[in-house]
Structure 1
């Protein structure tokens, strides 16, 4: 990639976020402030780098790398350390959180029964559909006809669900407990 390609790619990503489409070559030229010929070369570099692909009609389309986000380092949650960026490394959210796209869904949390596990109301759970997750995992389950997210536990009376908030009781199935899937990740929008 050329020196300013990261800057041009960022403008294209922002445009895509706002409009959900990759613009025409002419609009890309206008967007990044260059001639149509230079914009075409930029697009070719992005195709070669795996950020863009070509649709059958020749229009540019986003590829997986287009949605990747830069990893700029590791930040300690304890004592401060010198700031240092690891430029060039990037990963997509799917690549990081999703092992099997066809069996993975997002589930929005509503309630406070899992705050002790770091799960807040409004968070999105990354859930892998799995009817037989390991005991002690966090699951989305249907218990007696109601969906909930809790720890899956096994006791003397069989399987039950345990919240991560002392204000809520354990839930033992009266008739049935059906596991929808296992939580594999968490997405939280801070602001």
Structure 2
């Protein structure tokens, strides 16, 4: 199963979606959909994928893991061991509430001093209440913008991270 698993993971990483039955047949060399069905059930059993309410395959946490190679000194330089020590799931560090999160591509340079440049991808978590100082996606005059949320004298305003722009 490990070689099949690796082929499916590689497909997922390349295409950012799971393969369908026919694609799994091509990847694995299986001649029947029944063999694919059994493989999928095994993948569900080991937690690689899961099935949603409609029976569609969805990726599980295991597909989003990256290798962890060890430690790096922040002081005196040392060698980094190329040997795999563990894997970690980036979702654990980047996405707290997956069902309430989405990704946007940045257009413009109003947040450049925060290191957010045009073309960057940002992970956004929907929240009802933002705190002062949070970077927010806010609706302004029918459009959307990314800025710092600021409060002054009980009033909210949006502040860019670029001195060439004025607060809104």
Equivalent position of 2:100 in the other structure: 103
Pairing of 1:121-160 with structure 2 (within 5 A): 121-156=118-153, 158-160=155-157
In 2: Cα distance, 1:77 partner to 1:168 partner: 39
Matches within 5 A, 1:1-191: 5=2, 8-16=4-12, 17-18=14-15, 20-23=18-21, 26-30=25-29, 46-53=43-50, 61-73=57-69, 76=72, 78-79=74-75, 80-84=77-81, 85-91=83-89, 93-156=90-153, 158-171=155-168
CA contact (8 A) 1:113 1:165 kept: yes
Q: Specify whether residues 116 and 110 from structure 1 end up closer, same or farther in structure 2 by C-alpha distance, changes over 3 A only.
A: same
2:149–2:159 contact (8 Å) kept in structure 1: yes
Cα drift, residue 134 of structure 1: 0.6
Gaps of 5+ in 1: 32-37, 172-191
With the length of structure 1 as denominator, give the TM-score of the two structures: 0.63
Q: 1:102 to 1:48 in 2, by over 3 A?
A: closer
Query: What is the Cα deviation at residue 86 of structure 1?
Result: 4.1
Aligned counterparts of 1:50 and 1:95: Cα–Cα separation in 2: 17
Alignment CA distance shift 1:28-1:168 (3 Å): same
* Distance (Å, rounded) in 2 between the aligned partners of 1:124 and 1:9: 28
Cα offset for 1:39? Answer: 8.8
What is the TM-score with the length of structure 2 in the denominator?
A: 0.69
Q: 1:82 to 1:22 in 2, by over 3 A?
A: farther
In 2, Cα distance between equivalents of 1:145 and 1:108: 19
Answer yes or no: is the 8 Å Cα contact 2:105–2:119 preserved in 1.
yes
Counterpart contact for 2:137–2:145, Cα < 8 Å:
yes
Q: Assess if the C-alpha contact under 8 Å between 2:133 and 2:149 holds in 1.
A: yes
Checking the alignment, whether the CA contact within 8 Å between 2:7 and 2:27 is kept in structure 1 is no
